[in-house]
Amino acid sequence: MTDQSLFCPYCGAQQLKTGARFCHTCGQALPALPAVQAPPPPAWPPQPPHPVGGRGRGVGLRLLLAALALLLIALALLAWEPARSRAIYLWNDWRLAATEQANRARDAAPAAAPTGPSEALDTIEASPRPPSPPPPADQLSPSPLPSATPTARPTATPPSRPTFAPTPLASPSASASLAPAAMPIASPAQATSPAATSPQAVPVKPTCSIPVRSEFSVLWNRNWQVLGCPLDGGAIVSPACEQAFQGGHLFWRSDTTQVYMVFDRDRGDGVDLTSGDWFVGPREWGWDGSDPQGIGLQPPEGLYEPIGGLGWLWRKYLGGADGRLGWAVAREHCFERLAVAQTYQKGIAYRSSDPKVYALLPSKRFVSQR
């Protein structure tokens, strides 16, 4: 069908173009065409509808990834030796402070009442007994009273002695003088009298002018009689090295270049010992730098040949694998700002990277506390 808007309504002439305003034949004005509104263009690209709960799942996924990243960072810190050593150091300080606070609270607590049978018996015997009241007259028994005559105590008859010579004694008086004399028997009151026992002096913990370091507070509270008071404030030994063996430990101090040889393990079963022997190597035992990687010994499975300066000392002066230390159970470990030492009147307190602390006494004996 032909569109009627292309023809003039006055002369009927067909127009040459759509939307003309005047007829090209008669010149009359043409009526305006109604405006046609174009449909809006579609949105591009089309947006899919959001799934139900999609935003919540995205937040949860991000939180899970953040927690996984924190876990990986924590595992990396634990695998890093300085971070792990620092964590152990902080944990030991907290534990020692808590133990010291508990010991102070226990010392400040009042003495408890006697609970054991021996303490109760001593308390009862020390206190005077009140006299018992006489019974009423109507309850007196008509039984006869016991005699006031004291009963003679039985005397022990001495065993007969064998006769070695048939010669009779010179006189009866001489034989009478050989009779055993009666031994005095102490009364129960004298045996349990408090005046019969002399009081023993109780040692009093001294008040030191230089404080004990917190790392050694528990050790000193239990061994202050053998250690005495501190002579200095102590110091951190950095760097320091140690190596564990079947029969003990070797500790190297960089500030004094000394090696402590502490036999604090039972070589047979590997049990830690809380006391034993120790000694320090003389200056002549300084490492000459030879064989820094050892000499190629073949230890049993799970054990190690010590190398470097400790290995040289172990081979030359400590008997090697046949000595008291035996093989190493771990490789040599060096660290910084973990070892602590403090000098006392009667010894040295030392702590390496392990939380175990030592009191090294001049008698070449040690006591330890973990």
Segment 222-229 shows an average pLDDT of 94
351 vs 21 pLDDT, higher one: 351
Q: Is 334 helix (H, G, I), strand (E, B) or coil?
A: strand
Q: pLDDT tens digits, residue range 291-327?
A: 888 899 999 999 999 999 999 999 988 999 999 999 9
pLDDT band at 273 (very low <50, low <70, confident <90, very high): very high
pLDDT band at 47 (very low <50, low <70, confident <90, very high): low
Predicted confidence at residue 201, as pLDDT, reads 75
Query: Residue 77: CB partners within 8 Å, gap ≥ 6?
Result: 83, 84
What size, in residues, is the chain?
370
Q: What are phi and psi of 250, to 5 degrees?
A: -120, 125
320 vs 142 pLDDT, higher one: 320
Predicted confidence at residue 235, as pLDDT, reads 94
Segment 116-142 shows an average pLDDT of 49
Predicted confidence at residue 132, as pLDDT, reads 54
Is the model's pLDDT at 362 over the cut of 60?
A: yes
Q: Is 265 within 8 Å of 273 (Cβ atoms)? A: yes
Predicted confidence at residue 125, as pLDDT, reads 47
